[in-house]
Structures are given as structure tokens and as C-alpha cells.
Amino acid sequence: MEWPTIQECRRYLTKYCIINKFEVRKPKNEGYRIRAYCKAEECPWMTCFRKKPKEFTMKLRKIVLEHTCYADPLEHNCMVDANFIVEELEDQITLHHKTFKPSDIQKQMFYNFHIEVSYWSAWHARANKVLEKLFRDYDGSYRMIPELRKQVLLSNPSSIATYSRDMENGNQFTRLCIALKGSLTGFVTRCRPIVGLDGCFLKRKYGG
Ligand SMILES: [Zn+2]
């Protein structure tokens, strides 16, 4: 068996272990070969892949298929991380990014592989890997607030659009206030003069 790159070979090995419900240890991170041994004590399962001379192609050189260990009945596998989740579910998370929550990722991974995924790994895969790729990073979106204010005032003259930053704390964004002219006029001329306050909490990476 052969794989075009070492990354694809690693991915294949990870998926193979997850599907077959065992974990491996790799004694060294080497650029030209992958050696992996079953993590269970005294279990003989092992494999070795090696790069072909002057090529990127990886070739299976040796495999001992016998296991003397038992699969984890609790359905945990530490080889399942955010990267693996993204490789398996990126299209699904991207397509349904508004409604596909970390708990849905946990259910889908259990359905696909019969494994338990931690909430943190599911959250990390969705927020830090897929959504950041889709919408650029969260930090970058905060940098666009001055432009947002400018565009609101350009398209809605006489509106209120202000924001503030904490100059002593690395210019950190603190507040944003937007009140559109149409809403302000409607409130003053048509509504009873009652002001109601409610809270709105920020979720995801930066809460508040
Ligand atoms: Zn084993």
C-alpha cells in the first residue's frame, strides 16, 4: 500500500486506529518514516511506513496485525482530536454552521465511529478551525468595527454609531452603540416615552 504524502499516511493510520478501537504510540516524529506500536502493554501490534527514495510517496514496509489487548469499552480514543473531527466533518459543519453545534458534532462522531468526543474538542474544531476559516478570525472581525461605524453613518445619516476602546489595555474593544435614525425618529414621534433595558450577552470565543 502507498500514500502520496506523509500527512495522508498519518491520517490513514489515525483513522485505522480509531475505527479499530485502539491507540498507538510513536517513538519519534520522523520526516521519512512512521513507526507505530499498540499502546497496550506487551501487545505485539506494530507497523512501519517509509518514504520511497527520492519521492514523497510513503510505502507500508511492515505490519504485525495481531492484538492481545482489548478495545476500550468506554469508547474513548485519545487519537480523536479537533484535526480529526475537521477532516471528517468539515463539509457538514461548513454547510450547517449556523445550527450545527458542538453537541451535534459529538452525536455525529458517535454515529460515524462509535466514539465519545469531548465537548472541548468538538467546540475547538467548530470555532477555531472551521468557523475561523469561513469568516476569518475573531480578532480580525473586531478590527473592522471602525469601518462598520463608518458604513452605518454613510448609509443612515443622522444615526448614532459610536464605539470605545480601552487605551490602557492594549486598545481593547469595550463598547459599541448603534441607533439608526429611522428607529430614533419613530421612537420620538410615535412611541410612548418609556425606556426599557435588557441584557445581551456575547458568546463564542470572546464572551461579555
Ligand atoms: Zn493492541
Confidence of residue 74 (pLDDT cuts 50, 70, 90): low
Query: For the chain, what are the domain ranges?
Result: 2-64, 82-135
Longest dimension (CA), the chain: 82
Q: Whole-angstrom Cα distance, residue 74 to residue 141?
A: 40
CA of 7 to the centre of ligand 1 (A): 23
Ion ligand 1, residues whose Cβ is below 5 A away: 38, 40, 43, 45, 67, 69
Between 45 and 197, name the one with better pLDDT: 45
CA of 73 to the centre of ligand 1 (A): 14
pLDDT digits 0-9 by tens, 151-166: 999 999 999 999 998 8
Average pLDDT over residues 99-120: 93
DSSP-derived secondary structure letter, 167: G
CA of 94 to the centre of ligand 1 (A): 36
